[in-house]
Amino acid sequence: MLELKINGGTYEVDPPVGQTLAETLRGDLGLTGTKVACGEGHCGACTVQLDGVPALSCITLVHTVGEREVTTIEGLRDHPLVDAFVRADALQCGFCTPGQIVSAAALVEAEPELTAERVRHAMAGNLCRCGAYPRIEEAILSWRD
């Protein structure tokens, strides 16, 4: 039995060794806000925070999460970034968006004063095939407005 701390709550799960955090979140816990688009660490759609640090849940073995607090998009639903994304039209199909927002939330927490250069460096791990990038950049730079 594993105890996971997720979005301020505690969950008990009993996954086989080798199962990933993404599989646990989506499959066992129904937290389907976290998306999986590649399943092998190449796209960023599955980004969650572990103790505030962005991590790829699709290649994180759930047994290695330990004491760390998991924050998913479900825990960030009222973050001002969500509104900033909608305001700036920073999403099209929206499939990459939860991952973008989870990454961005960690970024604005760590660096409240951001430049476009920093955003482009720190968000390069979240692919968006629709190409919402210019608006994503705008949303992150204006998240407090």
Ligand X SMILES: Cc1cc2nc3c(=O)[nH]c(=O)nc-3n(C[C@H](O)[C@H](O)[C@H](O)COP(=O)(O)OP(=O)(O)OC[C@H]3O[C@@H](n4cnc5c(N)ncnc54)[C@H](O)[C@@H]3O)c2cc1C
Which one of 60-68, 78-86, 102-110, 126-134 is the stretch in contact with ligand FES (CB under 6 A)? Answer: 126-134
Q: Which of residues 43-102 bind ligand FES (CB under 6 A)?
A: 43-46, 56, 58, 91-97
CA 116 to chain CA mean position, Å = 20
> CB 59 → ligand X: shortest distance, Å?
7
Q: Where are the beta strands (DSSP E) in the chain?
A: 2-6, 9-13, 47-50, 53-56, 69-71
- Considering CB under 6 A, how many residues would be counted as binding ligand FES? 23
- Spatial distance between the Cα atoms of 131 and 66, rounded to a whole number of angstroms: 35
Q: What is the closest distance, in whole angstroms, from the C-beta atom of residue 124 to another protein in the complex?
A: 4
39 part of the interface to ligand FES, by CB under 6 A: yes
- SS3 assignment, position 70: strand
Residue 118 site contact among ligand FES, another protein, ligand X, none (CB < 5 to 8 Å, cut-off depends on kind) = none
Identify the CA nearest to 54 among candidates 98, 105, 124, 2. Answer: 105
**Residue with smaller CB distance to another protein, 12 or 30:** 30
Q: Which CB, 9 or 41, lies closer to ligand FES?
A: 41
Tally of CA atoms within 13 A in the half-sphere of 34 that contains its CB: 32
Integer-rounded Cα Rg, in Å, for the chain is 15
User: Residue 4 or 56: which CB sits closer to ligand FES?
Assistant: 56
41 binds ligand FES (CB under 6 A): yes
